[in-house]
Amino acid sequence: MSNTLLDVQNLTMKFGGLIAIDDLTFSAKKDHITSIIGPNGAGKTTVFNCLTGFYKATAGSMYLNKENNKMDLKKFSDFKVAQKAGVARTFQNIRLFPQMSVLENMMVAQHNKLMVASGFSILGLINSKSYLQKEKEAMEISKYWLDIIGLTNRADDNAGDLPYGDQRKLEIVRAMCIEPHLLCLDEPAAGLNAKESADLNKLLKFIKNDKKTGILLIEHDMSVVMGISDHVVVLNYGKKIFEGTAKETKNSPEVIEAYLGTED
């Protein structure tokens, strides 16, 4: 099991009387795209919020294997999950910095290393060579990703002015700028047309194969899920009702009944 990237055991999240996640156990592998699917209100986003420290889980454990270093995600609060553990995420409702340029969005994502490079602003204020060099490198990383999603020519436009599909893609590559070990995507294909959806599949496969970044994916669009998932976890009312490969999931009677519906 050295290949396991994320190991979630008996995760439970209660909001007052409501049990949003009920004793959930699953794991995600390094070279996998692991999808979490389920009907509305099943608790998918809540799983992300627990993983990324936005909510404090009521019970259970979450471990991340980072280069054979087992990290307890419960120990980190919100921004430290991204900073220390290298877990990046996107949001169901896109959260860009709309009044800042596309490039600035990418630079903010590299904040922590640039902050150190700028000597916590001291070296930056005196225009030190070493900082300018680091800034340039950060620009190149930004350009690299923008080239991949084809947004380089809009780098200086406000992120909020981009078309919806581009905003989704930008949010994903912005998350990649923190060089995460695990990338959590909350419904990235929502609102995309067929071509954009296909582009997204390509981007996610590239991230998985070439960047060696594990992906946790929440998705409603079954064509995306079936096309790229290596592993699927199905939630219903906070409980895991099925786990398996995409094909197994598609044919599972429980999943069909609870979520997919019969095809006729």
Ligand X SMILES: Nc1ncnc2c1ncn2[C@@H]1O[C@H](COP(=O)(O)OP(=O)(O)OP(=O)(O)O)[C@@H](O)[C@H]1O
Residues lying near ligand X in the complex (CB under 6 A): 15, 18, 20, 38, 40-46, 92
DSSP letter assigned to residue 75? G
Query: Which lies closer to ligand X via its Cβ, residue 131 or residue 259?
Result: 259
Identify the residue among 169, 174, 181, 231 touching another protein (CB under 8 A): 174
| The pair of three-digit structure tokens given for residue 43, joined into one six-digit string | 């608790």
| The pair of three-digit structure tokens given for residue 187, joined into one six-digit string | 């419904």
Residue 89 as a binder of another protein (CB under 8 A): the answer is: yes
Residue with nearest beta carbon to ligand X: 45
Alpha carbon distance 176, 166 (integer Å): 15
Instruction: Name residues whose C-beta falls within 8 Å of residue 251's C-beta, 6 or more positions apart in sequence.
Output: none
In the complex, the residues that contact Mg ion under the rule CB under 5 A are 45, 92
Task: Tell me the closest approach of the beta carbon of residue 22 to another protein, in angstroms.
Answer: 25
Task: Tell me the closest approach of the beta carbon of residue 238 to ligand X, in angstroms.
Answer: 7
Pick from Mg ion, ligand X, another protein, none: which does 95 bind, CB < 5 to 8 A by kind? Answer: another protein
Q: Please give the full DSSP string across 23-37, using - where no structure is assigned.
A: EEEEEEETT-EEEEE
Identify the residue among 19, 148, 155, 241 touching another protein (CB under 8 A): 155
Residue 139 as a binder of another protein (CB under 8 A): the answer is: yes
Pick from ligand X, another protein, Mg ion, none: which does 43 bind, CB < 5 to 8 A by kind? Answer: ligand X
Pick from Mg ion, another protein, ligand X, none: which does 41 bind, CB < 5 to 8 A by kind? Answer: ligand X
Q: Do residues 191 and 166 lie in contact, with contact meaning Cβ atoms separated by under 8 Å?
A: no
Identify the residue among 8, 13, 175, 200 touching another protein (CB under 8 A): 175
Query: Which lies closer to ligand X via its Cβ, residue 88 or residue 235?
Result: 235
Identify the residue among 75, 136, 211, 247 touching another protein (CB under 8 A): 136
Task: Tell me the closest approach of the beta carbon of residue 38 to another protein, in angstroms.
Answer: 22
Which residue has 């070439």 as its token pair?
A: 210
> What is the DSSP pairing of strand 214-218 with strand 231-236?
unpaired
Query: Which lies closer to ligand X via its Cβ, residue 42 or residue 233?
Result: 42
Pick from ligand X, Mg ion, another protein, none: which does 155 bind, CB < 5 to 8 A by kind? Answer: another protein
Residue 181 as a binder of another protein (CB under 8 A): the answer is: no
Residue 194 as a binder of another protein (CB under 8 A): the answer is: no
Alpha carbon distance 229, 249 (integer Å): 11
Q: Measuring CA to CA, which residue among 246, 183, 177, 199 is closest to residue 30? A: 183
Q: What CA–CA distances, in Å, run from 239 to 20, 57, 181, 221?
A: 9, 15, 26, 20
Q: How big, in percent rounded to 5, are the helix, strand and coil portions of the chain?
A: 45, 25, 30
20 by DSSP, 3-state: which? strand
